[in-house]
């Protein structure tokens, strides 16, 4: 089976590459291990929640020019979220500023000249016994927003997020990401691209003139070039000939976080009338509970709450059953909104636990910057023998790290590199 290009993975990066190369006349085959496209974009069945709930990626982050241009092309409806609330200090308080709130923290972040881990930054500048609240704030930010480990996460990355208000620009997609990924696939297929699902790539041999891509069912696809768009933890599971120790070592230097996402459907929007507060327009609720972050679908009138359990805690909880994770979620909601667990159980009509660290084709949710990321990304962006290319949200140099924008942009970059015929 011969093609010009084989793309491994039908997530955002793979779909973007497929569209661009197919439109340019390349004979493209996309090999996807799952029984669906999208990867870590995972639109759930409309039958489950009344709409295509987002089991994976949900928002557009930052300026995101590629995502927004594509959303416009597809005809998606984008809007800004409404009210952010916090109950971390007991009583619910609206959040007006999402950047660093401590002048000393801002000062130390701005003065940093060499990147170090967030944990090391805290140790060097803020003795924990004197700055317990600040440690808690920074740790929750790093683990919550980046799904990161503070011992590995980049302080330069933290500074960009906290001090650049633009990094917190966030938009909802009324229709979800489902139409976008379907659009990319349809556009690629219009120009001859072939998508084959349930194809697990096990080996890539690029020793000869052609690249041989082997799959678990014993088939071999011969191509001129292959583009790998799989999540970083999956790379070591593929056998390469010749081996790629330099690239695997580089990939290990980039952070990769875990998240358990929970989608809970209730009989009605009970949270709008609790704690003597008006949460009608609430979008995000931040807390100190085991499942700390929740959001609504406002302004869509959906009785849905989405929970977010990120970082090291997610990796630990990923070993638990869905029932145990749901129980932890309901206990968290009970404390946040001062409503009984039994009442929540009575209200609950459906739920879905997205245990991304346990997912065999993801092993987590998205990458995050470390002090060693820039060097690692530069290495991974280099074609291997001008035959093997890597793309994906982790292999991206901009400010929207770990996002769909990063994946789309990376895919676009690789496609342009191949079409340019540039030999590196």
Which tops the pLDDT comparison, 268 or 62?
268
How many angstroms separate the CA atoms of 377 and 142, rounded? 21
Query: Do residues 41 and 177 lie in contact, with contact meaning Cβ atoms separated by under 8 Å?
Result: yes
* Residue 53: DSSP 8-state: -
Asked whether residue 90 carries a pLDDT value surpassing 80, the answer given is no
Task: Give the number of other CB atoms < 10 A from CB of residue 36.
Answer: 13
- Report the Cα 352 to chain-centroid distance in Å: 18
Confidence band (pLDDT; 50, 70, 90) for 99? low
> pLDDT of 259-317, one tens digit each?
999 999 999 999 988 876 778 888 889 899 999 999 999 988 899 999 999 999 999 99
pLDDT at 93: 82
Asked whether residue 74 carries a pLDDT value surpassing 80, the answer given is yes
Assign residue 305 a region: left if phi > 0, alpha if psi is -120 to 50, beta otherwise? beta
Query: Do residues 262 and 56 lie in contact, with contact meaning Cβ atoms separated by under 8 Å?
Result: no
How many angstroms separate the CA atoms of 172 and 170, rounded? 7
The pLDDT mean for the chain works out to 93
Mean local confidence (pLDDT), 339-346: 96
Nearest to 321 by CA among 234, 256, 260, 259: 260
Nearest to 371 by CA among 128, 121, 105, 161: 121
Mean local confidence (pLDDT), 323-337: 96
3-state secondary structure 147-188: CCCCCCCEHHHHHHHHHCHHHHCEEEECCCCHHHHHHHHHHH
Asked whether residue 370 carries a pLDDT value surpassing 90, the answer given is yes
**b or e along 146-178 (b: 16 or more beta carbons within 10 Å of the residue's beta carbon)?**
bbbbbebbbbbbbbbbbeeeebeebbbbebbbb
> pLDDT of 150-180, one tens digit each?
999 999 999 988 887 655 568 899 999 999 9
CA dihedral angle for residue 383, residue 387, residue 388, residue 392, rounded to 10 degrees: 70
Nearest to 141 by CA among 124, 119, 126: 119
pLDDT at 291: 96
Asked whether residue 100 carries a pLDDT value surpassing 60, the answer given is no
Asked whether residue 219 carries a pLDDT value surpassing 80, the answer given is yes
Mean local confidence (pLDDT), 84-99: 73
Asked whether residue 96 carries a pLDDT value surpassing 70, the answer given is no
pLDDT at 224: 96
Query: Do residues 170 and 284 lie in contact, with contact meaning Cβ atoms separated by under 8 Å?
Result: no
């Amino acid at each position: 089976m011969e093609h010009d290009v084989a793309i491994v993975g039908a997530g955002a990066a793979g779909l973007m590459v497929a569209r661009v190369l197919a439109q340019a006349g390349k004979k493209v085959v996309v090999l996807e291990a799952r029984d669906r496209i999208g990867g870590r974009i995972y639109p759930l069945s409309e039958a489950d929640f009344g709409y295509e709930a987002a089991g994976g990626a949900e928002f557009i982050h930052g300026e995101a020019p590629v995502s927004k241009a594509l959303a416009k092309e597809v005809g998606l409806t984008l809007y800004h979220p409404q009210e952010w609330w916090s109950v971390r200090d007991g009583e619910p308080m609206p959040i007006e500023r999402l950047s660093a709130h401590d002048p000393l923290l801002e000062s130390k972040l701005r003065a940093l000249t060499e990147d170090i881990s967030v944990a090391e930054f805290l140790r060097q500048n803020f003795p924990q016994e004197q700055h317990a609240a600040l440690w808690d704030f920074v740790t929750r930010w790093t683990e919550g927003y980046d799904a990161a480990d503070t011992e590995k996460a980049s302080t330069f990355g933290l500074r960009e997020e906290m001090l650049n208000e633009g990094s917190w620009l966030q938009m909802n997609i009324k229709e979800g990401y489902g139409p976008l990924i379907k659009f990319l696939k349809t556009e690629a297929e219009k120009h001859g691209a072939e998508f084959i699902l349930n194809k697990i790539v096990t080996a890539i041999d690029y020793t000869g003139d052609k690249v041989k891509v082997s799959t678990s069912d014993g088939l071999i696809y011969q191509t001129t070039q292959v583009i790998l768009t799989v999540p970083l933890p999956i790379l070591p599971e593929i056998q390469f000939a010749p081996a790629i120790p330099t690239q695997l070592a580089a990939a290990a230097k980039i952070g990769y976080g875990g998240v358990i996402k929970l989608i809970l459907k209730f009989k009605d929007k009970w949270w709008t009338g609790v704690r003597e507060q008006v949460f009608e327009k609430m979008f995000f609720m931040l807390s100190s509970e085991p499942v700390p972050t929740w959001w609504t679908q406002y302004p869509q009138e959906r009785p849905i709450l989405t929970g977010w359990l990120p970082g090291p805690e997610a990796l630990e909880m990923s070993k638990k059953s869905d029932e145990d994770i749901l129980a932890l979620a309901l206990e968290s909601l009970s404390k946040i909104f001062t409503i009984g667990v039994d009442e929540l159980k009575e209200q609950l009509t459906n739920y879905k636990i997205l245990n991304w660290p346990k997912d065999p084709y993801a092993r987590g949710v998205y990458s995050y910057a470390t002090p060693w990321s820039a060097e690692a990304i530069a290495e991974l962006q280099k074609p291997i023998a001008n035959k093997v290319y890597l793309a994906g949200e982790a292999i991206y140099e901009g400010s929207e790290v770990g996002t769909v924008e990063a994946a789309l942009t990376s895919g676009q970059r690789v496609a342009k590199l191949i079409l340019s015929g540039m030999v590196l």
